[in-house]
Amino acid sequence: MNTNLNRPTPLSPLTKVIQIADQIEQLQPGQPATSLFNAFKSAVWQLIQVAANAYSYRLAWAMVTLHARSALRSYENGHSDALRQLKRLIKQSVTLLP
């Protein structure tokens, strides 16, 4: 008997990154963003770990860990317009993925 029929197919690392980026895009001002940001960062890291050439991900990783994290901190400190910047930086980091 095949028990794999009831198990969902695991998502590829890139699909996870894109799905979480889409969830961040849907955030509204006032909604918490930290857990989604951390999930996004983790998904990008997982993608890097399975990459044949991890170095090619350096720009996207820097975008997330430096710039997007800074926007997240600003948003967490009450600057609601920083959410727009966070969304833009997350989207830009996805476009930088090889």
| Residue 28 placed within a domain | no
| Residue 61 placed within a domain | yes
pTM for the model? 0.88
| Residue 1 placed within a domain | no
| Residue 26 placed within a domain | no
Per the structure, the complete domain to which residue 88 belongs is given by 13-20+33-95
| Residue 79 placed within a domain | yes
Cβ neighbourhood burial of 44 (10 Å; 0-12, 13-18, 19+):
buried
Answer yes or no: is pLDDT of 1 > 60: no
pLDDT at 10: 78
Which tens digit of pLDDT belongs to each residue from 10-68? 789 999 999 999 999 999 999 999 999 999 999 999 999 999 999 999 999 999 999 99
* Separation between Cα atoms, residue 24 and residue 36, nearest integer Å: 7
* Separation between Cα atoms, residue 56 and residue 79, nearest integer Å: 33
Q: How many domains does the chain have?
A: 1
Helices (H) then strands (E): counts for the chain: 5, 0
